[in-house]
Amino acid sequence: MSSSVTVPKSALPQRRAQSFISRLKSGEELAYLITVTAAAVIILLTALVLYELIAQSGQARHKFGWSFLFTSTWDPVAGDYGALPFIYGTVVTSVMALLIAIPFGLGAAIFLAEMAPPKISNAMTFLIELLAAVPSVIYGVLGIFVLVPALQKSVVPAIKSVAGSLPIFQGTFYGVSVFSAGIVLSVMIVPFIISVSREVLLAVPRDQREASLALGASQWQTIWRVVMPNASTGITGSIFLALARALGETMAVTMVIGNAPQIKASLLAPGNSIASMIASSFTEATDDLFLSALVELGLVLFGVTFVLNGLARILIMTTQQKGAHK
Amino acid sequence: MTRRIFGLTVAVVALAGVAAAALSVTGAGATFPYPMYSKWFSDYHKMYAGIEINYQSIGSGGGIKQVTEGTVDFGASDGPMDDTQLAEFKTKRGCAVLHFPTVMGAVVPTYNIPGVTGELNFTGEALAGIYLGKITKWNDPAIASVNAGVKLPATDIVVVHRGEPSGTTYIWVDFLAKVSPEWKSKVGVKTAVNWPTGLGAKGNEGVSGQIKQTEGSIGYVELIYAIQNKMSYGKVKNAAGVFVKADLKSVTDAAASAAADMPEDFRVSITNAAGKGAFPISSFTWLLVPEKIADPAKKKAIKDFLTWMLGPGQKLTGPLAYAELPKSVVAKETKAIAKIQ
């Protein structure tokens, strides 16, 4: 609350200056200035990144125009570049990672917040947050040496015997694939969903739960119909955070995805993602058009993140509205 | 008394400042020769404490770019600069850029075929056919005909290549383009190409890891990597029709046979070299030095280093499994050092 006296507009300039000075002395103006500057710097940095992406990709944008988004060739020799296989790879791996991570993540968060005794809950939360701190290169190395052989030997043959006729599971599996990348990504993003969702679930007021139990609901009914809707904004926030990480993940993906710029219906085929392509090619890109095409890929990733987040928000809003009308 | 102490302190600091003023030369570029350059630069510094050469292995593309921009004193690349890049260098820096071969490397085909433990023979056409996706089974006549006595199974060939741009790829596809006109027209030669088929792996480690795990796979790795990791690799038929196994001698032989026709600027590809003992998938790696160096101390340091590199430096290549330059090339290069103004 401002400590200054409310002065009518018609007051003498002298009195208005005095109240400004008193606000300044009390630190109000300074606090306002600092927080506004901090927020402005963030926005300015984002704008600067966007500006640089647009400027450095100029050569590729002029050469390819919008067809960059729809072309599938990536030919450095002929100087012909297209982003479609990478957009496909990025979207498919991220969506697959989310589809796996959300049920596991929410389930674990609900267990830790609602059902586990406090000691177990705290210990397990600590371990899960450690998972989030593991560098992504380690995930990549574990992916190649542990996950991929395990998938090749047991998991994929099992999937193929059950669902082998589906187009998404056709073809020979060589280990490195979109499927492996999706699984590695899901392991990486699960800790984000768990830790944020758990915090949000714990923050739901006790009286909500008690009221629901008092009305005769079981524990699960309470969780599903009272606690979770209360925490839904926080949970969706955690899912957005997880999606953002999945879209931008570089090292772990590049080691297990197979680096093949192609679009295949089967998840078992190798593919490539935008971040993985940029990271692996950037230092060795010898000509300006190649570099420019890579920067344009970065700009496309910016756009893909924007679009996916927007779609996710629309989806959330429509489900929430439906829920409200019930 | 205080004035004396003050004077002494100033003198000591000044002396320390003078002693610490070593000449610093910076370079950046190729990752392939990094272990060799690392040893050379550190040994050179031990001999001449006043000269410190710093090298960052950021990749051949980065090396070319940085030396063109002038942020480093010299660059290093596994592939020579092409005409566009040379012209760009001239526009940006106002002088030409000189290429100095330093060591040699080779790329070998490595494979994992169930039931086959020995060394296979490969012709260039067979390798091109495999990488074009036209030869799909191991018992294809193109492979079986040169491997009499080896029981090749009817397994599918799984092609493994590099996912990211690299000098190793450049040497490999350069060779394929020379032995296969179809490869040359359809795919071309560059550090990264539009592979007709196959899985991409990251680095030599990625390729060898993928091959170990995949039955029926074939890939290409640096010779040094194969030697140090005790991998089995095949022989390749050279231009003289001999199936040669890659080792330090056969790689040096490849350059020796190419030395006679070598252009003055050393920008030459020595894949598929003539000569009976030559390994056909060999290559130089180059240091890129501007023709005009403004700073006289740096110019002397670089010229002295190059002279040392061509002499005692070459003796250090064997233990690190790099192939040394043949004497004919060394002689030509020593003359070329004088071009640096």
Report ipTM for this prediction.
Answer: 0.76
Does residue A180 sit in the same domain as residue A131?
yes
Q: Tell me, what's the pLDDT at B213?
A: 83
B228 to chain A, minimum CA–CA distance in Å? 20
User: B193 contacts in A (CB within 8 Å)?
Assistant: 75-77
Same domain, A235 and A289: yes
Residue A270: CB atoms within 10 Å? 27
| CATH homologous superfamily, domain B106-259 | Periplasmic binding protein-like II (3.40.190.10)
In a domain, A120, yes or no: yes
List of residues 6+ apart from B259 with CB closer than 8 A: B326, B328, B329, B332
Q: Which residues in chain A have their CB less than 8 angstroms from residue B198's CB?
A: 260
**This prediction's pTM:** 0.81
Taking an 8 Å cut-off on Cβ atoms, the answer to whether A76 and B193 are in contact is yes
Same domain for A140 and A287, yes or no, is yes
CB atoms within 10 A of CB A289: 16
Nearest of A179, A204, A193 to residue A264 by alpha carbon: A179
B188/A280 touch (CB, cutoff 8 Å), yes or no? no
Contacts with A78 from chain B: Cβ below 8 Å: 188, 194
Task: Give CA angle at B113 (B111, B116), nearest 5°.
Answer: 105
- The answer to whether the CB atoms of A75 and B166 lie below 8 A apart is no
Give the pLDDT of residue A323. 57
Chain-centroid distance of CA A234 in Å reads 14
Per-residue pLDDT reduced to its tens digit, A184-237: 999 999 999 999 999 999 999 999 999 999 999 999 999 999 998 989 888 988
Residue showing tokens 């792996």: B201
For residues A36 and A174, membership in a common domain is answered with no
Together in a domain, A41 and A92: no
Q: Do A48 and A88 reside in the same domain of the chain?
A: no
pLDDT at A15 exceeding the cut of 70: no
Please give the mean pLDDT across all residues of chain A: 88
pLDDT at A1: 46
Q: Could you say which of 3.40.190.10, 3.40.190.290, 3.40.50.720, 2.60.40.10 is the CATH number of the domain covering B24-104+284-339?
A: 3.40.190.10
Residues A94 and A8 in one domain: no
Residue A2 has pLDDT above 60, yes or no: no
Give A 240-259 residues with CB within 8 A of chain B. 254-255, 258-259
CA distance A286 to A295: 14
Contacts of A133 (CB under 8 A, 6+ apart): none
Query: A157 CB near a chain B CB, below 8 Å?
Result: no
- The answer to whether residue A63 is domain-embedded is no
* Residue contact A254–B213, C-beta within 8 A: no
Among A34, A54, A74, the domain-final residue is A54
- Residue A118 shares a structural domain with residue A180: yes
A40 and A114 belong to one structural domain: no
Question: Are B194 and A76 in contact (CB < 8 Å)?
Answer: yes
Task: Report CB contact under 8 Å: A260, B198.
Answer: yes
pLDDT of residue A70: 92
What stretches of chain B adopt beta strand conformation (E)?
Answer: 23-29, 51-56, 74-77, 97-112, 121-122, 158-162, 199-201, 217-222, 235-237, 243-244, 282-290
CB-based contact A176 B199, cutoff 8 Å: yes
Nearest-angstrom CA–CA distance, A304 and A297: 10
Number of Cβ within a 10 Å radius of residue B128: 25
Strands B235-237 and B282-290: unpaired
State the total domains in chain A.
2
Q: Is residue A202 part of a domain?
A: yes
What does the pLDDT read at residue B11? 64
The mean pLDDT of A157-164, rounded to a whole number, is: 88
Q: Which of A54, A71, A98 is the last residue of a domain?
A: A54
| Any domain includes A302 | yes
For chain B of 341 residues, list the mean pLDDT of each consecutive stretch of 10: 70 56 87 89 92 88 88 91 89 92 92 88 95 93 91 92 86 94 92 89 85 90 84 91 91 84 86 90 92 91 93 90 88 90 85
Which residues touch A249 (CB under 8 Å, ≥6 apart)? A136, A185, A188, A273, A275
Identify whether A110 is part of a domain: yes
Would you say residue A75 lies in a domain? no
Residues of B within 8 A of A175 (CB-CB) are 210, 213-214
- Which pLDDT belongs to residue A326? 46
B214 and A174 within 8 Å at the Cβ level: the answer is yes
For residue B163, the chain A residue with the least C-alpha distance is A259
Domain that holds residue A203: 84-325
The dihedrals phi and psi of B3, each to the nearest 5 degrees, come to -65, -40
What are the angstrom distances between the C-alpha of B81 and each of A80, B256, B266, B286? 21, 22, 11, 10
pLDDT given at position A61:
92
Same domain, A21 and A108: no
Query: Which CATH number goes with the domain that contains A187?
Result: 1.10.3720.10
Average pLDDT over residues A127-156: 90
Two tokens, residue B34: 């990094």
Quick one: A241 and A313 in the same domain? yes
User: Is A64 part of any domain?
Assistant: no
**A3 pLDDT higher than 80:** no
**Alpha-carbon separation of residue A165 from A169, A177, A248, B115, B149 (angstroms):** 7, 18, 32, 31, 40
Residue A126 lies in a domain: yes
Shared domain check, A154 and A43: no
Give CA–CA dist A150/A148, Å, rounded.
5
